[in-house]
Structure 1
Amino acid sequence: MTKHPSATVEFRRVAQRLRDAVTGGTYEPGSRLPAAADLAEHLGCTRSAVERAVRVAAAEGLVTTRKGSGAYVSRLLKRITRQTTGLLRAGGDGEADGFGEALEAELRALGLVARHFPDVRTERAPQDLAALLGLKRSGQNVLVRDTRTFAVAAGAAPTDPGTPVQLAVTYLPLDIARHTALEDPDPGPRGVRGLLADLGHRPTDFSETIDVRPPREDEAAALEIDPDNRVIQLTRTAATADRAVEVTVSVLPAHLWSLSYRWTTAS
């Protein structure tokens, strides 16, 4: 059924007023929005217009809806800019973890710090990842480093849960990673890239594929986002001259991230 033009105009007006209220600080990050009936009275509109506007705000990442509890303003409204110019920068020893350093720097610029929650396990490689790693069959086991990253305000209490900003899963061939420091949940300041170099597998070639898609149910829960949000999936492959040695799949809430790329051409 076609919506009446006046209803569409009202909805757009309400949606913009709600955006302005959230981004302008009328409702504090993390706070619960008033009930739909109260918002409708405050905004001078119908309840249906408010409910539709809230759904749009949730899809844009401005609010998160919780069944039986209502809608809450997202705790993090700032965008994190991923500057790729520093991703492959080596440290003084030539092998510092530029990827980890870049994320820390990006959050620090916003007055935030990262808290990482890693998990390491062995599992069968998915078919698409097996192909990227050059494995002969999809059933081969790989080492999986699974890290969920939260952003919290600098100086926040240890009990502050922060905001989940990234899910990163790194896949490593077992013939390289088994019984090495790569199995340690904390790879240290040199990161996975430095440890691979120590093992004689220094990656020198990197490729990255970017996709934007709806989150899977488990991803939406882990990132605490609405199912109508979108996520950015970055699939990065690191290789030596002979073979691929690492594939990392990062999933980022699209409303929290901007991707910035820079390159130069030969004169």
Structure 2
Amino acid sequence: MTQAQPSATPEFRRVAQRLRDDVTGGVYAPGQRLPAAAELAERLGTNRSVTERAVRLAAAEGLLTTRKGSGAFVARILKRIPRRAAALLGVPEGSEADGTREAVEAELRDMGLASRYFPTMSTERAPQDLAGLLGVKRSGKNVLVWETRVFAVPIGAQPTDPGTPVELIRTYLPLDIAAGTTLEQTDVTPLDIRGRLAELGHRPTEFTETIEVRPPLDDEAQFLGLDTDNRVVQLTHSTTAGDRTVEISVSVFPAHLWSFSYRWTAS
């Protein structure tokens, strides 16, 4: 029989909930630095050890971000971003599976936020688990990869505002399809890729999505500002044209920032 951990004591639960309530209730503003541990402990009516554990828990839940040597800060986004996907059927030519990304943009606007995309392009060897799906050889550089870092900023924010990292997207395109086409142009965004595939004669006919929850990889944790107690949602989206998979996008989201819902219409 395992013993309860100290962090599960009534005192810890009380302090952790008080800290959650203070953060979500507006006692501390988004982006504000929390008081130092000793002062915060006094405000919470407890000792420093319990306070520090409560701060770590709140950080794991995504309510706070911690910076070594700088303290703890309230997360700039406290509400979940909805990603609502309708049935992956009846897709107009050149569109995304269901207009999901456009819908996310609308959800962000409703939250007073706007997205900023920072894409980079490279030619690489396809990951082993994707090479067969994309129908490419497993040797040499065989895919065009767009890596896009997505930030959310308050609407009207200054260009220097770093915003909050909310998504990391890696899109893989078979090189025999993408090389020498508009898919290699520097102005491509995740909103454009499937439309450009359609223009090149690869009109999407089927979409699949797979979702898993896992710990972040080191580079993902660094970009998304996560610690080892956080989790990410990995969404793998495949686009098929005819009998071939022509695009695979692997999106990584901080689990505490997003909610996912799907809707289908009965036939």
> Please, what TM-score do these two structures have when normalized by structure 1?
0.92
CA contact (8 A) 1:132 1:237 kept: no
Query: For residues 235 and 148 of structure 1, what CA distance do their matches in structure 2 show?
Result: 16
Residue matched to 2:113: 112
Query: For residues 6 and 243 of structure 2, what CA distance do their matches in structure 1 show?
Result: 62
C-alpha spacing 1:5/1:111, structure 2 compared with 1 (3 Å): closer
2:91 aligned with 1:95, yes or no? no
CA contact (8 A) 1:126 1:138 kept: no
2:248 aligned with 1:247, yes or no? yes
* Structure-to-structure mapping, 1:196-211, within 5 angstroms: 196-211=197-212
Residue matched to 2:25: 24
C-alpha spacing 1:73/1:5, structure 2 compared with 1 (3 Å): closer
Query: For residues 199 and 182 of structure 2, what CA distance do their matches in structure 1 show?
Result: 10
Which deviates more, 128-137 or 23-32? 128-137
C-alpha spacing 1:226/1:109, structure 2 compared with 1 (3 Å): same
Write out the 4+ residue segments of structure 1 that deviate beyond 6 Å after TM superposition: 4-7, 86-89
Aligned residue type for 1:76: I
CA contact (8 A) 1:86 1:102 kept: no
Deviation digits for residues 197-226 of structure 1 (CA, Å, limit 9, x no counterpart): 111111111001000011111111111222
Deviation digits for residues 36-90 of structure 1 (CA, Å, limit 9, x no counterpart): 1111111111111101111110110000111111111111111110010287775
Aligned residue type for 2:205: T
The runs of 5 or more residues in structure 2 that have no matched partner are none
The runs of 5 or more residues in structure 1 that have no matched partner are none
1:135 deviation in Å?
2.2
**SS at the partner of 2:117?**
strand
Which deviates more, 131-140 or 231-240? 131-140
Query: For residues 257 and 104 of structure 1, what CA distance do their matches in structure 2 show?
Result: 13
2:85 aligned with 1:84, yes or no? yes
1:100 deviation in Å?
3.3
Q: Aligned Cα RMSD in Å?
A: 2.2
2:73 aligned with 1:72, yes or no? yes
Percent identity of the aligned residues? 66
Aligned residue type for 1:201: H
Aligned residue type for 1:95: G
Aligned residue type for 2:230: N
Query: For residues 21 and 146 of structure 2, what CA distance do their matches in structure 1 show?
Result: 40
**SS at the partner of 1:34?**
coil
Which deviates more, 137-146 or 169-178? 137-146
> Please, what TM-score do these two structures have when normalized by structure 2?
0.92
Query: For residues 190 and 3 of structure 2, what CA distance do their matches in structure 1 show?
Result: 58
Query: For residues 151 and 88 of structure 1, what CA distance do their matches in structure 2 show?
Result: 29
1:103 deviation in Å?
2.5
CA contact (8 A) 1:88 1:99 kept: no
**SS at the partner of 2:79?**
coil
2:254 aligned with 1:260, yes or no? no
2:134 aligned with 1:121, yes or no? no
